[in-house]
Amino acid sequence: MMGSSACAIVLFAHGARDPEWARPFEAIKALVEQRLPGASVTLAFLEFMSPSLDAAVESLIAKGARRIDVIPAFMAQGGHVKRDVPLILDALRARHAGVTITLAPAVGEAAPVIHAIAGWVIERAQHPGA
């Protein structure tokens, strides 16, 4: 059972048929767990992979989470994040009135992510083949 102050995070990605596709998300999850040792962090996927967002949130709630932050690991707020995800989360909120479920903006729209990607592109341009 999670403590009431425990942080629950769902890293939510699109999913793909190729299991290798999930590697970067697994690495992000591992880094978050390492840097937030009290957090309960899980991956969830829109399609092709499991668990689904619904199943991941239900699992965290079953373990005692009362506050869950859903982080869309998408580059931008496309149709899935704007339309599909809020519907899924509204249904979960209706079933679990005592649980706070928040939806963060897409990670690709966060300034630190934009700066990190730009930095990587600049580094590649300055040192091709590195």
Buried b (16+ CB within 10 A) or exposed e, 34-61: eeeeeebbbbbbbeebeebbeebbebbb
Residue 113 burial (C-beta neighbours within 10 Å; 0-12, 13-18, 19+): middle
CA torsion sign, 53 to 27 to 81 to 64? Answer: positive
Residues in CB range of 92: below 8 A, 6 or more apart: 54, 57, 58, 99, 101
Note whether 40 and 2 are within 8 A (CB).
Answer: yes
- Report residue 17 as tokens: 């048929």
**pTM: predicted TM-score of the whole model, two decimal places:** 0.88
CATH 3.40.50.1400 for domain 8-126: yes
How far apart, in whole angstroms, are the C-alpha atoms of residue 122 and residue 98? 46
14 carries an active-site annotation: yes
Q: What's the rounded mean pLDDT across residues 39-49?
A: 95
Q: Of the residues 14, 80, 96, 115, which is catalytic?
A: 14
How far apart, in whole angstroms, are the C-alpha atoms of residue 68 and residue 82? 18
Residues 64-120 have pLDDT tens digits of: 999 999 999 999 887 778 888 999 999 999 999 999 999 999 999 999 999 999 999
Q: What's the rounded mean pLDDT across residues 7-13?
A: 94
